[in-house]
Amino acid sequence: MKTIILCGGTGTRLKEETEYKPKPMVYIGNKPIIWHIMKIYAHYGYNEFVLALGYKADYIKEFFLNQKAFTSDFTLQTSNYKAKYYLNSRQDADNFKITFVDTGVNTLIGERILMCKKYIPEDESFMVTYGDGVSDINIGKLVEHHKKKKTTGTITGVHPKSKYGLIQSDNNGLVKKFVEKPILDDWISGGFMIFERKFFDYIRPGEMEHEGLQRLTQEKQLSLFLHEGFWYAIDTYKELEELNKIWNTDNPPWKIW
């Protein structure tokens, strides 16, 4: 089963980084966040990816095309630039199979997904996620849940983190305590979606993905997989810094590989 990763947005609220690179290429530790996302899926045996590219697409292509040189010893003859790679020297080599699809700079998400249709085999389910969020989600359980529900699509519900500190008070109107940016009880879509191939029939050019999901909802063909664990999406530079701090702890939650 292949996973479409949406990589085409401009990430305007993260302009400190995205002025020079696409959002999925912002670094967590010494690797871009898209690599972290792919490692999550690959841990559960899903290592085939379709990258829906757009803004600064070449940056993502170059990263993966040059991985062989970055991760192995090699001999280079500069007169003709022929290189011999010693692949047995590679350290922790990844096993990804990646299809790169240029879906345009200004294309909306729904149409980006639709443009990947020809790379999804007939009668095969596929997964979709965004290129800016990580989680300790169990992809295997997500797939099992989807098969059990037998719906056209399944989305993952996660608890959002408040962007503001909250105040708790007693019945007399006195402040009891401040709660700094707590995890809320509500549910939002956190990516990590799975669909039957006929979902492509619910998407239209020039639309976001939400319209297609709404059509599934109207036909009672969209299930919800609830994930109570860790989930974090990057939208601002401060959130990028926070995620890097978590990565530098002894046990970052999404590092399940």
For the chain, the domains span 2-158+185-247
Name the band, by pLDDT with cuts 50, 70 and 90, for residue 246. very high
103: closest CA among 9, 198, 203? 9
Q: Which token pair is 137?
A: 């989600």
| Predicted local distance difference test score (pLDDT) of residue 92 | 67
**In this predicted structure, what is the pLDDT of residue 136?**
97
Instruction: Give just the sign of the alpha carbon dihedral 145, 149, 152, 155.
Output: negative
187-217 tens-digit pLDDT: 888 999 999 999 999 999 999 999 999 999 9
Helix (H, G, I), strand (E, B) or coil at 129: strand
Fold of the domain built from segment(s) 2-158+185-247: Spore Coat Polysaccharide Biosynthesis Protein SpsA; Chain A (3.90.550)
Q: What is the reported pLDDT for 45?
A: 97
Residue 167 tokens read as 């105040």
Confidence (pLDDT) at 91: 61
- pLDDT surpasses 90 at 183: no
User: Dihedral sign, CA of 171, 173, 175, 177?
Assistant: positive
- Indicate yes or no: pTM above 0.75: yes
pLDDT one-digit tens code per residue, 43-91: 999 999 999 999 999 999 999 998 888 778 889 999 998 988 887 766 6
Average pLDDT estimate for 126-152 = 97
Angstrom distance (rounded) from CA 183 to CA 170: 21
> Which phi and psi (to 5°) does residue 205 adopt?
-60, 145
pLDDT (mean) for 115-126: 95
d(Cα 236, Cα 227) in Å, to the nearest integer?
Answer: 23
Q: Residues 47, 5: contact at Cβ < 8 Å?
A: no
pLDDT of residue 85: 87
Tell me what pLDDT residue 48 has.
97
Q: Which residues pair with 50 in a beta bridge?
A: 4, 99
Average pLDDT over residues 95-113: 95
Residues of the chain with pLDDT > 70, as a percent, come to 96
Partners of residue 81 on adjacent β-strands: none
pLDDT band (50, 70, 90) for residue 180: confident
At 90 the pLDDT is: 65
SS3 2: strand
